[in-house]
Amino acid sequence: MNNRLTELLNIKYPIIQGGMIWCCGWRLASAVSDNGGLGLLGAGSMTPELLREHIKKCRAATVQPFGVNVPLIYQEIEGIMKVILEERVPVVVSSAGNPKTWTKQLKDKGITVLHVVSSSIFAQKAEEAGVDAVIAEGFEAGGHNGREETTTMALIPQIRRATSLPLVAAGGIATGAGILATLCLGADGVQVGTRFALSEESSASPEFKRACTEVKEGDTMLALKKLSPTRLIKNSFFDKIKEAEDRGANAEELLEIIGKGRTKLGIFEGNLTEGELEIGQVASLIDKVKPVETIIRDMIDNYNLALGRLKPML
Amino acid sequence: MNNRLTELLNIKYPIIQGGMIWCCGWRLASAVSDNGGLGLLGAGSMTPELLREHIKKCRAATVQPFGVNVPLIYQEIEGIMKVILEERVPVVVSSAGNPKTWTKQLKDKGITVLHVVSSSIFAQKAEEAGVDAVIAEGFEAGGHNGREETTTMALIPQIRRATSLPLVAAGGIATGAGILATLCLGADGVQVGTRFALSEESSASPEFKRACTEVKEGDTMLALKKLSPTRLIKNSFFDKIKEAEDRGANAEELLEIIGKGRTKLGIFEGNLTEGELEIGQVASLIDKVKPVETIIRDMIDNYNLALGRLKPML
């Protein structure tokens, strides 16, 4: 399937791997790119020098294009962008910040820029900033999330109206049927986080991956709305946050409970009780860690199967 | 399009009108049924005698099958069920309560029973209770909502795995493309609330309908989680609830703020500041009150258009 997204990114399938901190180094990114999608390195959990190393290793592992996900509020942003510009990474996916700050510099170097948004207003701002495409992420997504809580089903048609740019749907998509559903709603492709976080090539800890494959419906919840809304697995750390929120704790108090290094502790080091475990609702559909090659092949098969079942309404 | 849902309900299109209190009397229900869907009378805002009147008027207005939506926790449930059984309404959609209590009695009289659920566990309980089909409603839906906050995109594939019964998707569906998307995910049809609440035939007040057509992204929010989670438009009443919730108010305090008759005040009487305004996220996609005939025709056209755009992935 060729469309303007696959042409923009020079990829086979309109599938972008989400940039999830502690999950996506060169192994995951190169595997996704090598299998026809767009792999992303997650700069949000890397120093500039570590990112440079991953870019070099990713280049050595695949001839296909790949990208870097950059949370724009990241403290090491200057160093990260310096490496990206020097290494001439083909694609940058920016999130969590103002797309005006960096888009022009990146585009001037021939880098394709996508920006993650959670509302039409942010999509329009991204378009004004000159990005090449927007990624619209719904409430069901894991990790950091929009304040308006708009779900993928409600968000995608809305963003489709708000901008004429290529549109990538994110949040709640782990299967080919899910990809097809978002194309129905007006998306040109998808960004898949959770399913790739739970791949063999993901750098998340085995403990984290196992815990996520055991997630059932209702086992994740959007918390920390007084800070930055974040979808978490309900564990002992979550319970402390919830207890504080229920009694009306303010942002300061919540920050104190969180402390430092909680996501690394949970995702990378596999501390399932005290770590911050970020994953999407759709983890409940996933019961096995698989290699990227199988994940993508299954998605394509499932997409075509779901398409073949649809009938016109007369 | 014929499938097991249209056959079960003896309707042309797999589109059920949601049972929304204060919105759906005989005018709306008969219009939906007359145009190929399944119209529902909303018993939740009716006395048994008023329901009987609406059933008779609905029968006089259409030869097509229609149903009654019954919240099982409704205080007048005994009287409501007596009327339904006496009048031999073809379909009952039950919600908010244990499907075991009434399903057998209804089915013994030849009534088709559907039950609204928000999780796989509830879907399995409904199947065990002997219902004919389940309606799975996601987080984006208006009014009362599940505790697990699972969105339609994540919920439908999950329920599809949990039960082999005909499956109706609800929450976030206002267009033909939305219908198609949920069929991709494994649904056999849809329940549409918000779009029909904002029809000419809806008995909601003109003020409420106008306010809903002006809703933008992020203008509704799920509140009252310490009572029964409910999606509301952010108005002055909502602000009071939010302020109380943010400071940790308990259920008792929230009940006191709500008082009596808030939904009637908002939806039926059109008090936009002090009333409880229940509507789905997808209201942001709707900018016009239209007749049911146009709504359904547009849905079918839009469904076929969206279907025609899909391509296989090779």
Q: Which of B148, B217, B243 to mutate to test the interface with A (most CBs of A within 10 A)?
A: B217
Contacts of A60 (CB under 8 A, 6+ apart): none
B21 shares a domain with B104: yes
What gap in Å lies between CA A198 and CA A214, rounded to an integer? 11
Residue B91, both tokens: 């379909």
CB contact under 8 A, A285 and B158: yes
Compute the average pLDDT of residues B65-74.
Answer: 96
* CB contacts, 8 Å: A310 with chain B: 180, 183-184, 307, 310
Residue A149 three-state SS: coil
Instruction: Identify the CA nearest to A67 among candidates A22, A19, A108, A34.
Output: A19
What gap in Å lies between CA B129 and CA B115, rounded to an integer? 10
Tell whether B312 is covered by a domain.
Answer: no
- Residue span of the structural domain in which B144 resides: 4-202+288-307
A199 shares a domain with A60: yes
CB contact under 8 A, A148 and B217: yes
Establish if B186 touches chain A: CB-CB under 8 angstroms: yes
pLDDT tens for each residue of B11-68: 999 999 999 999 999 999 999 999 999 999 999 999 999 999 999 999 999 999 999 9
Tell whether B62 is covered by a domain.
Answer: yes
Q: How confident is the model at residue A297 (pLDDT cuts 50, 70, 90)?
A: very high
DSSP secondary structure string, chain B? ---HHHHHHT-SSSEEE---TTT-SHHHHHHHHHTTSBEEEEGGG--HHHHHHHHHHHHHH-SS-EEEEEETT-TTHHHHHHHHHHHT-SEEEEESS-THHHHHHHHHTT-EEEEEESSHHHHHHHHHTT-SEEEEE-TTSSEE--SS---HHHHHHHHHHH--S-EEEESS--SHHHHHHHHHTT-SEEEE-HHHHTBTT--S-HHHHHHHHT--TTSEEEE-TTSS-EEEE-SHHHHHHHHHHHTT--HHHHHHHH-S-HHIIIIIS--TTTS--B--GGGGG----B-HHHHHHHHHHHHHHHHHH-----
Compute the average pLDDT of residues B263-285.
Answer: 98
Residues of A numbered 9-38 whose beta carbons fall under 8 angstroms of chain B's beta carbons: which are they?
13
CB contact under 8 A, B285 and A222: no
B213 shares a domain with B190: no
B263 shares a domain with B235: yes
Tell whether A313 is covered by a domain.
Answer: no
B224 shares a domain with B168: no
* CB contacts, 8 Å: B182 with chain A: 181
Helix H or strand E segment including A103:
helix A100-108
A57 shares a domain with A155: yes
Q: Please count the other Cβ atoms lying within 10 Å of the Cβ belonging to residue A227.
A: 15
CB contact under 8 A, B181 and A186: no
Residues of B numbered 267-306 whose beta carbons fall under 8 angstroms of chain A's beta carbons: which are they?
280-282, 284-285, 300, 303-304, 306
Confirm whether pTM is higher than 0.95.
Answer: yes
What gap in Å lies between CA B60 and CA B166, rounded to an integer? 29
Tell whether B37 is covered by a domain.
Answer: yes
Sign of the CA dihedral with A44 first, then A50, A51, and A55 last: negative
CB contact under 8 A, B218 and A285: no
CB contact under 8 A, B218 and A149: yes
pLDDT tens for each residue of B112-152: 999 999 999 999 999 999 999 999 999 999 999 999 999 99
* CB of A296 closer than 8 Å to CB of A35: yes
A237 shares a domain with A105: no
B271 shares a domain with B179: no
**pLDDT value for B57:** 98
* CB of A303 closer than 8 Å to CB of B313: yes
Residue A56 has pLDDT above 90, yes or no: yes
Q: Please give the angle made by the CA atoms of A250, A256 and A259, to the nearest 5 degrees.
A: 140
* CB contacts, 8 Å: B173 with chain A: 153
Residues of A numbered 211-250 whose beta carbons fall under 8 angstroms of chain B's beta carbons: which are they?
217-218, 221-222, 226, 246-248
Burial A244-259 (b: 16+ CB within 10 A, else e): bbeeebeeeebeeebe
Establish if B142 touches chain A: CB-CB under 8 angstroms: no
CB contact under 8 A, B155 and A217: yes
**pLDDT value for B1:** 83
What gap in Å lies between CA B3 and CA B286, rounded to an integer? 28
**CATH code for the domain of B82:** 3.20.20.70
Tell whether A314 is covered by a domain.
Answer: no
Residue A130, both tokens: 């000159």
CB contact under 8 A, A13 and B313: yes
Compute the average pLDDT of residues B264-283.
Answer: 98
Compute the average pLDDT of residues A188-200.
Answer: 98
Establish if B63 touches chain A: CB-CB under 8 angstroms: no
Q: Is residue A225 packed enough to be buried (19+ CB in 10 Å), middle (13-18) or exposed (0-12)?
A: middle
Q: Is residue B312 packed enough to be buried (19+ CB in 10 Å), middle (13-18) or exposed (0-12)?
A: exposed
Q: DSSP assignment, residue A147?
A: S
Compute the average pLDDT of residues A191-195.
Answer: 98
How close does chain B come to A193, measured CA to CA in Å? Answer: 14
pLDDT tens for each residue of A102-154: 999 999 999 999 999 999 999 999 999 999 999 999 999 999 999 999 999 99
Tell whether A312 is covered by a domain.
Answer: no
Establish if B139 touches chain A: CB-CB under 8 angstroms: yes
How close does chain A come to B186, measured CA to CA in Å? Answer: 8
Q: Quick one: closest CA in A to B147, which residue?
A: A218
What gap in Å lies between CA B191 and CA B37, rounded to an integer? 10
Contacts of B36 (CB under 8 A, 6+ apart): B11, B12, B13, B15, B296
Residue type, A115: H
CB contact under 8 A, B157 and A139: no
CB contact under 8 A, B140 and A151: yes
State how many domains chain A has. Answer: 2
A235 shares a domain with A211: yes
A172 shares a domain with A105: yes
Compute the average pLDDT of residues A283-309.
Answer: 98
Which residues make beta-bridge pairs with A199? Answer: A290
What gap in Å lies between CA B222 and CA B208, rounded to an integer? 18
Which residues make beta-bridge pairs with A144? Answer: A230
Tell whether B236 is covered by a domain.
Answer: yes
pLDDT tens for each residue of A63-113: 999 999 999 998 999 999 999 999 999 999 999 999 999 999 999 999 999
Contacts of A87 (CB under 8 A, 6+ apart): A52, A55, A56
A217 shares a domain with A150: no
**pLDDT value for B248:** 92
Q: Quick one: closest CA in B to A223, which residue?
A: B149
Please write down the HEC assignment for all residues of A152-216.
HHHHHHHHHHHCCCCEEEECCCCCHHHHHHHHHCCCCEEEECHHHHCECCCCCCHHHHHHHHCCC
Residue A108 three-state SS: helix
Q: How many CB pairs under 8 A join A and B?
A: 170
Contacts of A63 (CB under 8 A, 6+ apart): none
**pLDDT value for A1:** 83
Residues of B numbered 198-217 whose beta carbons fall under 8 angstroms of chain A's beta carbons: which are they?
217
Residues in chain A: 314
Q: Please count the other Cβ atoms lying within 10 Å of the Cβ belonging to residue A52.
A: 18
* CB of B180 closer than 8 Å to CB of B306: yes
Q: Which residue in the block uniquely carries the two structure tokens 């065990």?
A: B128
Tell whether B70 is covered by a domain.
Answer: yes
What gap in Å lies between CA A206 and CA A202, rounded to an integer? 9
How close does chain B come to A37, measured CA to CA in Å? Answer: 12
Q: Please count the other Cβ atoms lying within 10 Å of the Cβ belonging to residue A273.
A: 12
pLDDT tens for each residue of A228-247: 999 999 999 999 999 999 99
Q: Please give the angle made by the CA atoms of A154, B44 and B121, to the nearest 5 degrees.
A: 60
B158 shares a domain with B34: yes
Q: Quick one: closest CA in B to A146, which residue?
A: B218
